[in-house]
Amino acid sequence: MIKIAITKGRIEKQVVKMLSKQGFDMDPIINKDRELLIETKDGIQMIFAKANDVLTFLEHGIVDVGFVGKDTLMEADFDDYYELMDLNIGKCYFAVAAYPEYRTKTFHRRKRISSKYTKVAKSYFASKKEDVEIIKLEGSVELGPVVGLSDAIVDIVETGSTLKANGLEVIEKIADISTRMIVNKVSLKYKKEEIFKLMEALKKGA
C-alpha cells in the first residue's frame, strides 16, 4: 500500500487525470463526494489536504508521497524530503507586483510588502539588500496596494488577470513554480519499487 497526499483543488484534478491516463484506477476519486481519504484497487491510499498540511503528513510519516506546488516547498521550514519529480503542471511564478508608479517612486521610509508567502518575500528583498516591512495576508493579497496597506506584493501570478483587473503589474519575477512530487526519506527505502512505478507512470502521463 502506497500512501499519497495531494493538494486539494487544481493540483488534485491534474494529478488524478495523469494517473487515470496511465491506467490507474481513479474512479473512486473522480466519483468521490466530500470524502478526504480514498483507497483504490491499485493499492493506493490518497488523502486530500491543504498544501501545507500535505507537508505535515509527509513529515510525520503518515504518507509516503506528496504532491505540492514549489511555492509551498519554498515557504515551508521543513525540508527533510526528496523532491523526486517536476510534474510540469500547476505552472505559475512568484513575482513582486505593484502599481506602475512603484518603479519610479522614491520612498522616504521602509517599503511595505504584503504577502501570503512572507518567507519568500523576506528572502527576496534580503537578496536585494532592501530592508522592507513584510505584512502577512492570507489571501487576495492584491488588496494590499489597492486599499493602501502596502506598496507592493509578493504573490503567485498565473495569467496575470488578477493583477490587471486591479491596475497592478509585475515589477520583477522571483521564481518559477510548478507541482512537485516529494517523498518521505524512510518511505523511499522501504517502498522504492511502488514509488518509482508511480513516478514512471506520471512521466508517461505528462
Ligand X SMILES: O=P(O)(O)OC[C@H]1O[C@H](OP(=O)(O)OP(=O)(O)O)[C@H](O)[C@@H]1O
Ligand Y SMILES: Nc1ncnc2c1ncn2[C@@H]1O[C@H](COP(=O)(O)OP(=O)(O)OP(=O)(O)O)[C@@H](O)[C@H]1O
Q: What are the φ and ψ backbone dihedral angles of 29, each rounded to 5 degrees? A: -85, -45
Question: What is the C-alpha separation between 41 and 39, in angstroms, rounded?
Answer: 7
CB of 71 to ligand X, least distance (A): 9
11 is a contact residue toward ligand Y (CB under 6 A): yes
- Residue 7 binds: one of ligand Y, ligand X, none (C-beta under 5 to 8 A by kind): ligand Y
Task: Detail the DSSP E strand segments found in 25-104.
Answer: 37-39, 44-49, 65-69, 81-86, 92-98
The sheet with strand 92-98 has its strands ordered as 133-136, 112-115, 152-157, 92-98, 169-177
Rank residues 43 and 167 by Cβ distance to ligand X and give the closer one: 167
Residue owning grid cell 509551498: 72
The sheet with strand 65-69 has its strands ordered as 37-39, 44-49, 2-7, 65-69, 179-184, 81-86
156 is a contact residue toward ligand X (CB under 6 A): yes
Window 26-65: contact mask with ligand Y (x via CB under 6 A): ------------------------xx--------------
Q: Pick the stretch among 12-20, 157-165, 168-176, 198-206 that binds ligand X (CB under 6 A).
A: 157-165
Helix (H) or strand (E) holding 53: helix 51-59
13 is a contact residue toward ligand Y (CB under 6 A): no
Window 93-132: contact mask with ligand X (x via CB under 6 A): ----------------------------------------
Q: Which residues bind ligand X (CB under 6 A)?
A: 139-142, 155-162
